[in-house]
Amino acid sequence: MQPIMGGTGEKPDLSRYRRYIESALAFNGGTHTYDDVVEMIAAGRAMLWTGPATVCVTEIIEYPQKRVLNIFLAGGDAPGVLPEMERILPIILDWAKGQGCQTATFIGRKGWEKTFLSRAGWQFPLVMASRDL
């Protein structure tokens, strides 16, 4: 499996994944829209990973001292999404290591804490809180 990466400036046709992307966006606090995600992929700033029942959107963040893979959207059709995510995630992490990433982060709703992520060594040291101003 390889990610769908842009970088050409042309918008990729992600219409078949739109439902999954938008369902994950419903939990992102309004930081992105579907069109924003398409633009990020077109510009090569994000990658879309897909499976039959799942999508993940990742980005590589360059901090001064390390390179981090950020998985900021994940979703799909229940009940297939969790088993598929458990299968896809190691592929994504191996790819990220090959890109020089030293850390991976996963942003999602609190329910992800109770999934295979805890068994797979993911920790949840921080909680993000927000409010409208």
Say what the pLDDT of residue 129 is. Answer: 60
**Helix, strand, or coil here: 18?**
helix
Rounded CA gap, 48 and 21, in Å?
Answer: 10
Q: pTM surpassing 0.85?
A: no
- Phi and psi (nearest 5°) for 71? -95, 105
Say what the pLDDT of residue 83 is. Answer: 86
Say what the pLDDT of residue 1 is. Answer: 54
85 contact partners, CB below 8 Å, separation of at least 6: 54, 56, 74, 76, 115, 116
Say what the pLDDT of residue 127 is. Answer: 63
Q: Which CATH number fits domain 4-117: 3.40.630.30, 3.30.1380.10, 3.30.420.40, 3.90.1150.10?
A: 3.40.630.30
What does the CA dihedral 76, 80, 81, 83 come to, rounded to 10 degrees?
A: -160
Say what the pLDDT of residue 76 is. Answer: 83
> Residue 118 carries which side chain, given as an amino acid letter?
S
What number of other Cβ atoms are within 10 A of residue 125's Cβ? 4
Say what the pLDDT of residue 26 is. Answer: 86
From first to last of its 133 residues, what are the pLDDT tens digits of the chain? Answer: 557 766 677 788 889 899 999 988 988 778 899 999 999 999 999 999 988 888 999 999 999 999 999 988 888 887 878 888 888 889 999 999 999 999 998 877 777 777 777 778 777 766 666 555 5
